[in-house]
């Protein structure tokens, strides 16, 4: 008995492949989007999700490198503002289009339309998502795929077909409710997600692989295939090479993906080519993307599981599953073996081994040998007035109501804390113990970075409030890729610098820090704007886990009025004739 009645599978396959038609290199692609809440059943249980043009996830944008994207985004929410961040797109020359509320623009008011217009300058696997409150968790996300430009040299690897897998996690409790809990005293944690979704589809009350379960409590899914929660099956031909574009916009879950019976060759990370390497499974942290190649060289009469499990936190969420199906084998044929087992959640050795394999493709741009400035950022969990917060060098970020891009450009000094936040932490701080930092405060100061300097950031992890607990945090930088110079254990010391990889460190936009460890990043301040740098775990950012970099803002010109029409910039520049 198949878990998916055939017939409609072809439709799903066509859907998966029917990307927006390409208009050639350097074209402007005009999109009109309405954001609104709607009823949807991402995991077979009905919820309210934030959709775009009636779709969840939002429409996939497909473009070629050099194209200009114009998204006329209309806010159809009733009382909420909205913004969309184009994750991985550097927004060179358009920092106001980065889609970060309180940083790059005023949130778009209900009923209003904002034109997000920006160039996608680099091929790769990207995505977009809400960046106001926790609207990403509410379902405001979609894929953004950039192909090589016409006439450009081709990708440095061959493939015959491709599939796009945008991964996310889903809660049944509304995001509004989650936000209240996180901001309450006593604190209420959101808990682990109910479901992991692949392209917005998961199964909560049943499993596609219940046959293999030891317990009888899990029901086998009985889906027709046209349900909102029915899996999209990856239908392939034998003896071909397929590119899987895998991106994670999860709010919390670090994931691990494996394809039963198939090895994967990693070729891209966060829109940058990497030296190809073969693995059995890959780790994907929130905010990261990969392309992997699989060769369909297995028995064509069978189907194979694609399984995605949670890592880095004690999992309470079932694996997400779908099938790799060799045409013309029936999609209703259940694989003979159970889905690949996700490595133990706390097997950090496995995680580190994977991370360390990621190196830049030969010939990639190398980092400057020397740095001009080094900022060391201690990550701690703190109690502030009884509220649980995350802090960086003892400051928990609370964004101001006036976006920085305008307030810095126009020197509105009361818009945020003018004192520069610290660039290091006390040398005697014990990162192995629960935090002893009584001076932790709420703040919104900015790291002011001169243009064209090389900045090192050392992300230093530490123990959380509970003894012997240190969490994974995937840090994402806006407006830039950074080189990942290395990962290390314990407290970073000057000695560790010697181990930096300056030869072929990978460029990416999101890198993880492991428990009680550090991660070293380097980037060049070549992009005027104000850029968020933050943990990409949505509730952690909500709890203050981020910093703000301002970079040559005096060189920014052409901020749209609409991006400034709130807070102090709104007040400063409103000139009516009445008074």
Binding site for a copy of itself (CB under 8 A): 36-39, 48, 78-82, 102, 106-107, 109-112, 132-135, 174, 176-177, 179-181, 183-184, 399-401, 409-410, 557-559, 561-562, 564-567, 570-571, 573-579
CB-wise, 53 or 329, nearer to a copy of itself? 53
Q: What is the spatial distance between Cα 420 and Cα 444, in angstroms, rounded to a whole number?
A: 9
Q: Considering the complex, what minimum distance in angstroms separates the CB of residue 180 from a copy of itself?
A: 5
Q: What is the spatial distance between Cα 223 and Cα 303, in angstroms, rounded to a whole number?
A: 17
CB-wise, 184 or 278, nearer to a copy of itself? 184
CB-wise, 111 or 450, nearer to a copy of itself? 111
Q: In the structure encoding, which two tokens stand for residue 41, read together?
A: 């059943």
| Burial classification of residue 317, based on how many CB atoms lie within 10 Å of its CB (0-12 exposed, 13-18 middle, 19 or more buried) | buried
**Cβ neighbours of 567 (radius 10 Å):** 18
Q: What angle do CA 22, 27, 31 make, to 5 degrees?
A: 70
Comparing CA positions, the residue from 395, 359, 312 lying closest to residue 501 is: 359
DSSP letter assigned to residue 3: S
Strand ranges, E, within 472-545? 473-477, 482-489, 507-508, 510-513, 517-524, 529-535
Q: Considering the complex, what minimum distance in angstroms separates the CB of residue 538 from a copy of itself?
A: 12
Q: Considering the complex, what minimum distance in angstroms separates the CB of residue 48 from a copy of itself?
A: 5
CB-wise, 308 or 564, nearer to a copy of itself? 564
Cβ-count burial 346-357 (b if 16+ within 10 Å, e if not): eebeebbebbee
Q: Considering the complex, what minimum distance in angstroms separates the CB of residue 58 from a copy of itself?
A: 17
Comparing CA positions, the residue from 129, 134, 141 lying closest to residue 98 is: 129
Q: In the structure encoding, which two tokens stand for residue 176, read together?
A: 């509004």
Q: What is the spatial distance between Cα 70 and Cα 369, in angstroms, rounded to a whole number?
A: 38
Q: Considering the complex, what minimum distance in angstroms separates the CB of residue 510 from a copy of itself?
A: 24
Q: Considering the complex, what minimum distance in angstroms separates the CB of residue 249 from a copy of itself?
A: 18
Kind and range of the H or E run holding 408: helix 404-409
Map tokens 């050639």 to a residue. 24
CB-wise, 78 or 314, nearer to a copy of itself? 78
Q: Considering the complex, what minimum distance in angstroms separates the CB of residue 39 from a copy of itself?
A: 6
Q: What is the spatial distance between Cα 323 and Cα 375, in angstroms, rounded to a whole number?
A: 45
CA distances from 539 to 187, 286, 443, 448, 501 (A): 12, 12, 17, 26, 32
Q: Considering the complex, what minimum distance in angstroms separates the CB of residue 183 from a copy of itself?
A: 8
Check if the beta carbon of residue 365 is closer than 8 Å to that of residue 354: no
Q: Considering the complex, what minimum distance in angstroms separates the CB of residue 75 from a copy of itself?
A: 8
CB-wise, 392 or 568, nearer to a copy of itself? 568
CB-wise, 93 or 110, nearer to a copy of itself? 110
CB-wise, 154 or 575, nearer to a copy of itself? 575
CB-wise, 249 or 256, nearer to a copy of itself? 249
Q: What is the spatial distance between Cα 539 and Cα 138, in angstroms, rounded to a whole number?
A: 12
């Amino acid at each position: 008995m198949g878990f998916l009645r055939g017939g409609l599978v072809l439709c799903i396959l066509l859907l998966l492949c029917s990307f927006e038609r390409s208009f050639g290199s350097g074209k402007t692609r005009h999109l009109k989007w309405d954001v609104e809440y709607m009823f949807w059943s991402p995991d077979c249980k009905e919820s309210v999700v934030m959709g775009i043009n009636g779709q969840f996830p939002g429409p996939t944008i497909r473009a070629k490198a050099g194209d200009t994207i114009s998204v006329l985004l209309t806010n159809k929410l009733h009382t909420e503002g909205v913004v969309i961040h184009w994750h991985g797109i550097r927004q060179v020359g358009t920092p106001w289009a980065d889609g970060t509320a309180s940083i790059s623009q005023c949130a778009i008011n209900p009923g209003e339309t904002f034109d997000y217009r920006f160039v996608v300058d680099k091929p790769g696997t990207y995505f977009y998502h809400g960046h106001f409150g926790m609207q990403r968790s509410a379902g405001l996300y979609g894929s953004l795929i950039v192909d090589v430009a016409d006439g450009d040299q081709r990708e440095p690897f061959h493939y015959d077909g491709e599939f796009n897998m945008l991964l996310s996690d889903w809660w049944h409790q509304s995001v509004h409710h989650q936000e209240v809990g996180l901001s309450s005293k006593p604190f209420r944690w959101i808990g682990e997600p109910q479901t992991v979704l692949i392209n917005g589809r998961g199964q909560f009350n049943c499993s596609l692989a219940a046959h293999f379960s030891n317990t009888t409590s899990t029901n086998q899914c009985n889906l027709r295939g046209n349900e909102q929660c029915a899996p999209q099956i990856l239908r392939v031909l034998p003896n071909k090479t397929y590119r899987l574009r895998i991106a994670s916009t999860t709010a919390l879950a670090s994931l691990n993906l494996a394809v039963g019976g198939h090895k994967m060759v990693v070729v891209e990370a966060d829109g940058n080519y990497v030296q190809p390497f073969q693995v059995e499974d890959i780790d994907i942290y929130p905010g990261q993307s990969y392309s992997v190649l699989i060769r369909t060289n297995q028995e064509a009469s069978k189907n194979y599981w694609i399984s995605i499990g949670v890592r880095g936190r004690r999992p309470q969420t079932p694996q997400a599953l779908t099938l790799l199906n060799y045409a013309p084998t029936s999609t209703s044929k259940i694989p003979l073996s159970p889905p690949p087992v996700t490595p133990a959640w706390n097997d950090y050795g496995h995680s580190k081994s994977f991370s360390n394999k990621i190196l830049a493709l030969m010939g990639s741009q190398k980092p400057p040998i020397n740095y001009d400035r080094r900022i060391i950022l201690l990550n701690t969990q703190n109690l502030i007035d009884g509220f649980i917060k995350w802090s960086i060098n003892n400051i928990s970020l609370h964004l101001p109501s006036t976006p920085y891009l305008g307030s810095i450009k126009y020197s509105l000094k009361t818009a945020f804390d003018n004192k520069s936040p610290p660039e290091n932490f006390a040398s005697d701080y014990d990162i192995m113990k629960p935090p002893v930092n009584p001076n932790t405060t709420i703040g919104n100061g900015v790291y002011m970075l001169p243009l064209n300097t090389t900045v090192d950031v050392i992300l230093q992890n530490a123990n959380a409030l509970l003894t012997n607990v240190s969490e994974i945090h995937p840090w994402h930088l806006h407006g830039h890729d950074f080189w990942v110079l290395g990962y290390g254990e314990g407290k970073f010391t000057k000695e560790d610098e010697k181990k930096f990889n300056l030869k072929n460190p990978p460029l990416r936009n999101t890198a993880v820090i492991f428990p009680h460890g550090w991660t070293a990043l380097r980037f060049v301040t070549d992009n005027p704007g104000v850029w968020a740098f933050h943990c990409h775990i949505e509730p952690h950012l909500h709890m203050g886990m981020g910093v703000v970099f301002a970079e040559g803002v005096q060189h920014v010109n052409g901020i749209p009025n609409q991006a400034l029409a709130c807070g102090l910039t709104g007040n400063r520049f409103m000139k009516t004739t009445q008074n």
